[in-house]
Chain A
Amino acid sequence: MFVCGSICGAAVDFLSHRVCLSSPSQQRPNMFPKGTKRKFSDPAEEPASSGDPGPAAPPPAARTLSSSYSLQRQSLLDMSLIKLQLCHMLVEPNLCRSVLIANTVRQIQEEMTQDGTWQIMTQALAAAQCPADRLVATEVLCRQTEPGAQAGQSPKPFPVVGLEEGYHSEEVVMEGEVETEVTMSTLSPQLSSSSYLAGPFGMDPCWDEEDEDGDCEEEEEEEEEEEEEEEEEDEEEEDSEECMSEADEADRDHLSADSRTGEQVFGTFEIKHPTPPPDPALEELFSDVDPSYYDLDTVLTGMQSTPKMGPYDLLESLSSHAPTALSSSASCRSDLNELDHIMEIIVGS
C-alpha cells in the first residue's frame, strides 16, 4: 500500500466539511512561503477571470466555487490517479477497485469540465509550452527554501509519497493562511504528466548512473518530484525521456504525440540543477521511444509488461471530452519492454 500518510494527515472530507481522521504520520513542514504562492495565483487565475470560457462556458456561479472545494476535488483527483497507477503488480490489480476509482476520476473530470476548471487546466497546459514556464512552475513547487532549492542540494523534507501529494496536503493544512490554493491546485495539473510516478518511489538507478549532480539521493528525490510535476503538467503526452525511478516507471515514460523534445523535458529537471545541460546519454537512450498509450484494459487488468500512461492521458482515455487516439504503438512497446527489462536488471528487482 502506498504511503498515504501525507494526504491523510490533512485530508478533509469535502462534502461534509468535517476533518477526517488524522493519521499519525509525519507533519509536513510549511514549505512554501506565502509570497511564493501568491505569485502564482495570478497567472492561473487569469484565464478564468479573463472570461475565456472555452468550449462550454461555465456559469458565472462556477467561478465562485469555493477554493477549498476545488482544492479538495483536485486532491481527490490526484489521489485517484495515483491509485490507478500504483499497481505494482505481481498480482493482477483488483478490477472492481480500479473501475470504481476510474469512475471517480471521470466524475471529477466531468464536474471540472462543467465548471470550467478543466478548460483552465487544459489551457494552462497548452500555454505552458516552453520550458521556461515549466521551469518556473516547478521551481516554485520544488524548493523548500530559496538557497537550498537553487542549489538543489538540500535534502528534501518532501514526503516519500511525492511532491504532488505532499503539496496538496500542504495546501490543505495551510488553507486558513493562504488564499491562493485554488491556483496552486490548478497549477499542479499543469505540470508534466508524461510519466506518472508510480509507486514506492524507489531508487532511481538511472539517475544514479548519470549522477548529474553528484548527489544521487537528492536527485532521486528531486527527480521524483519533478516526475510528478512533469506528469501533472502535460496532459497531452509529451516526451518524457527522463529516467524513471523504477523499472516500472520506465514503462510509464510516456511520450507524447506532439513530439516534445527530450531537452524540454530535461529542462524541467534543470530546475533542481539550474546549470547542467540535459544529459545527452539519457536523451539518446530515450530519443527513439515513441509515445505509448495504454488502454484501460491494461490499466484495469494489470498487464505489467505494457507501458503505462500518465494520469492525464488516462483521463483522456476515460472521458469523451478529450478523445485521444489511443493507438497502441506496438513498436514502441517492444522498445519500452526492452527498456523495462533493462531497468529491472539495473534495479535488481
Chain B
Amino acid sequence: MWCFSQVKGAIDEDVAEADIISTVEFNYSGELLATGDKGGRVVIFQHEQESKNRPHLRGEYNVYSTFQSHEPEFDYLKSLEIEEKINKIRWLPQQNAAHFLLSTNDKTIKLWKISERDKRAEGYNLKDEDGRVRDPFRITSLRVPVLMPMDLMVEASPRRIFANAHTYHINSISVNSDHETYLSADDLRINLWHLEITDRSFNIVDIKPANMEELTEVITAAECHPHQCNVFVYSSSKGTIRLCDMREAALCDRHSKFFEEPEDPSSRSFFSEIISSISDVKFSHSGRYMMTRDYLSVKVWDLNMENRPVETYQVHEYLRSKLCSLYENDCIFDKFECCWNGSDSAIMTGSYNNFFRMFDRNTRRDITLEASRESSKPRATLKPRKVSTGGKRKKDEISVDSLDFNKKILHTAWHPKDNVIAVAATNNLYIFQDKIN
C-alpha cells in the first residue's frame, strides 16, 4: 500500500522551464537521491535517520546539496545553443567518505565530488584566523593547529570534465561494474571512458552511415551490464536491442545478441515504428533480465532469449487509438523511463496525467497511481486510479479524453533496497513509500 511521503518543489501553477526535473536517481545505498533539472542544476536529497518519536515512519529526504552542474553553451560552428538540461545522473559506488556522481547534458559529462566538511583547523602558525598571512617577525612561538567542529558544509566540486567527444546528443551514461570505466551514448555513437582520463575516450559503437541520408535508426539508450564489465546493451529507435561484448572487438558494431520482437502484422500502422522506439533500457539487478520501455508498453527480456520478451506489460494501451493526435502534438516522442525495484520483483514506469504504473512480476498485478498535490496528505494512502476505455465511465474513473498530456511522468526511481520511490512530475519530486504496518 503506497502512501505519500513528501513532495519537493514549488507549488506554483506557473512552472519555470528551468525547474522541470529531467532525471532522478538514487545512489547505491539509497541514502542519497539526486535530481537534475532543465536549468542544469543538481539537487541531492539525503535520507535522514528515522526519528525515535515516530519509528513507524521511515526517515525523510531533505536537501543535502544543490549545485549548478552545467551551464548553457553556444556551439559557434553550428550557431546553435547547447542546452544545460541534465539528461542523466549516475552515481558511482561509494569508496570513501565522499560521494561521486556523473552528470551529463547533451554534450559534456562531468564527474562531481560531493564531500562534507564539518571540521576546520584553527591555530595556524603562518596565517591568522582571517587567513591573512602573519608577519614572520611576529611569530614568537609554535603551536599545533587544532581541528574544531563547524557547521556541516556540503561541497560539490567538479573533478573531471569529459567534453568534446559527442557530436550528437548524449542520451545515456552508465557506470561499468569495474568502477573504473563508464560509457556514454549519443544518437549515433557510444564511447567508453576511463574515469581518470578526460582527454580520450574509445568509440565502441558507431552507427552513423557514410551518407546521412541513409540514416534510419538511432541509438536511444545504453547500459552496462551490472556484473559483467565487458557486456553492455543499447536500444534503437526501431525497437531493437543489441547486446555487445567488448572482448570480441574494439569496435562493437557487430552485436553478440540481437533482441527484437516480431511485429504483430494486425496492428501495423504508420505509427508502428515510432511506438516501437525504445526510450529506456535497464538491466535487472540480477543481471539476468533487462527491461525496455517503448511508447505503449514495458517488456522484460531474458538475456538468453533474443526472439521475444518474456513479459510484456501494457502501460496505457488506451492511447493506441489516439496515436494520430499524439503524433501531432509530439507526445508520441515522449521518452518514458522505467525502473526495477531492489529485488527485481516489480517494475515501474510513468504515463500521462501524472499517472505512474507499477507491475508486480510475480502476481501479475498492476496498479496505477497518481502523483498529485491533492493526494499529498502526510502518510495518505494513494488511491489506485483507472482510465476508462469503454463508453461507460465508472465513478472515479477518468476518461481518456480528459487526460492531461502535459502532465507526464517520464522519470521515476526506486530505492535500491526499500520500497521507497521517487517520481518526478514536471517540477515536483514526489516521494512515496510502502506502509510498514
Contact = CB atoms under 8 A, between A and B. Distances in A.
Interface in A6-29: 7-8, 11-16, 18, 20-23
Interface in A289-344: 295-297, 300-305, 317-318, 326
A55 B48 CA distance: 73
Interface string B325-365: 10111100100000000000000000000000000000000
Contact of B218 (A11, A12, A95, A107): A95
B81 A91 contact: yes
A127 interface: no
Contacts of B106: 92
Interface string A279-292: 00000000000000
B187 A96 contact: yes
Given A13-B323, A99-B218, A103-B273, 9 more contacts: A1-B330, A4-B329, A21-B401, A79-B328, A91-B83, A96-B220, A107-B270, A295-B213, A301-B212
B82 A91 contact: yes
Interface residues on B, range: 35 or more
A345 interface: no
Nearest to B212: A297
Given A15-B269, A73-B270, A303-B78, A94 B169 contact: yes
A130 B215 CA distance: 36
A39 interface: no
B216 interface: yes
Interface residues of A, number: 48
A304 B330 contact: no
Contacts of A106: 216
Contacts, number: 118
Contact of B277 (A8, A100, A297): A100
Interface string B204-220: 00000000110111101
Interface string A75-100: 01001000100000111101111011
B168 interface: yes
B401 A79 contact: no
Interface string B260-295: 000000001111011001000000000000000000
A103 B216 contact: yes
Contacts of A8: 325, 328-329
B80 A99 contact: no
A15 B328 CA distance: 15
Interface string A97-114: 101101110111000000
A111 to B, nearest CB: 8
Contacts of A108: 270
A20 B322 contact: yes
A95 B325 contact: no
Contacts of B321: 13, 16, 18, 20
